[in-house]
Amino acid sequence: MAFALNSNISIGTYKRVHVNDVKIDKSVFDLVDKAVIKIPAKARLVVKNDGTAPVTGEVPVETAKVVTEGQEVLIELGYNGSLKQEFIGFVSRVNFASPVEIECEGYSYQLRNKTISKTFKDAKLITVLKEIVKGTQITLNENDVPDTKIDKIVFDKMSGVEALLKLKENRANSVAFFFTGKQLNAVLFPLVPSGLEVKYKLGWNTIKDNELKLRQAKNQQVIVRYIGEKKDGSKVIVESGKTGEVKEYRRVDVQDAKALKQMADAQLSRLSYDGYEGKITTFLLPYAEPAMKAIVTDDKYPERSGSYLVESVSTTYGTGGARRKVGIGLKL
């Protein structure tokens, strides 16, 4: 069966945009989904006479002058007319080059024009998140938000993105903040897969797998210690792990023992596990997105077989074909 590449790309009111190249990057470690679209510097705009347009036909345009910041962007890619939504967001910058380069950002873009001035004390994480996304089209994946407390966090005339980045720093090494389309996720490490699966049989539905590297827990034995330092000089100390080198982390912004223990457990899981990590290169099929479960089968090296968390996905599409580079991490 022949596979013919197809796309459905819209920018603002312009539909079925013909592109030179597209690159999309998503990760559970990055709260900003990114896409770069390259289109010809000059194009022909199809104008239909639907009762409002004065003519029917094609009008030549300079693409850099008709694409503007803030326009909505939709990217769907696939084969033989069967398309999957790969990206939804907004134009964040137009670079006047040849071809024209259009930088796009996911729904985190809606937080950039929002200003937050508020102080939270002894607040639930979900309460802070609801304040950050209030007034936008962003939805919260409330079921997976950890039941953890923020001792104190101050947003002083910050944009929504700045506030979210500060919150991410406050929960460093314990909570992953990332988008799935319009939905903001805040998920405790180690991440539980979203419920969607992708299956890889190395050497069969993959192009390259030589970037996979072995990790062995026996070489990564550590004790993770978190120390929350209070203003009165007292400390809250928690540990995770039984043996090995002690890795110590001090926090002045977190003193809640439950939150510190979540951080310690999450960091331990990221530092010590048996399995493989690295990247697999495929065609557009099978479809993959961050937080999926990747079921890997390897007949040549059976020790590489198992279930892994998809941590990142980088997708390219253009005149040279299409590829998907999938980053896998924690073995499940």
Domain residues of the chain, as ranges? 5-105, 111-188, 197-213+277-331, 217-271
Handedness of CA 156, 159, 162, 164 (dihedral sign): positive
pLDDT at 135: 95
pLDDT at 327: 94
Task: Note whether 189 and 269 are within 8 A (CB).
Answer: yes
Measured at the alpha carbon of residue 182, what is the angle toward residues 177 and 188, in degrees to the nearest 5?
Answer: 25
pLDDT at 217: 59
Residue 189 token pair: 């490490």
Buried/exposed code over 30-56 (b: 16+ C-beta within 10 A; e: otherwise): bbbbbbbbbbeeebeeeeeeeeeeeee
Residue 329 token pair: 């991490």
Residue 321 token pair: 């074909």
Buried/exposed code over 96-108 (b: 16+ C-beta within 10 A; e: otherwise): eeebbbbebbbbb
| CATH architecture of the domain with range 197-213+277-331 | Beta Barrel (2.40)
Secondary-structure class of domain 111-188 per CATH: alpha beta
pLDDT at 289: 95
pLDDT at 216: 63
pLDDT at 47: 55
pLDDT at 97: 84
pLDDT at 221: 75
pLDDT at 140: 95
| R_g (Cα) of the chain, nearest Å | 23
| 88 Cβ neighbours under 8 A, 6+ residues apart | 72, 73, 74, 75, 106, 107, 181, 182
pLDDT at 46: 58
| 128 Cβ neighbours under 8 A, 6+ residues apart | 120, 150, 153, 167
Residue 306 token pair: 């198992």
Q: Model pTM?
A: 0.83
The residue ranges of the chain whose pLDDT is under 70 are 1, 43-60, 173, 215-220, 252-253, 270-275
pLDDT at 274: 63
Q: How many CA atoms lie within 13 A of 331 on its CB side?
A: 18
**Three-state DSSP string of the chain:** CCCCEEEEEEECCECCCCCCEEEEEEECCEEEEEEEEEECCEEEEEECCCCCCCCCEEEEEEHHHHCCCCCEEEEEEEECCEEEEEEEEEEEEEECCCCEEEEEECHHHHHCCCEEEEEEEEEEHHHHHHHHHCCCCCEECHHHCCCCEEEEEEEEEEEHHHHHHHHHHHCCCCEEEEEECCEEEEEECCCCCCCCEEEEECCCCCCECCCCEEECHHHCCEEEEEEEECCCCCEEEEEECCCCEEEEEEECCCCCHHHHHHHHHHHHHHHCCCEEEEEEEECCCCCCCCCCEEEEECCCCHHHCEEEEEEEEEEEEECCEEEEEEEEEEEC
Position 41, amino acid: A
Distance CA 70, CA 105 (A): 10
pLDDT at 45: 61
Position 202, amino acid: L
pLDDT at 51: 54
Position 39, amino acid: I
pLDDT at 281: 96
Distance CA 134, CA 2 (A): 47
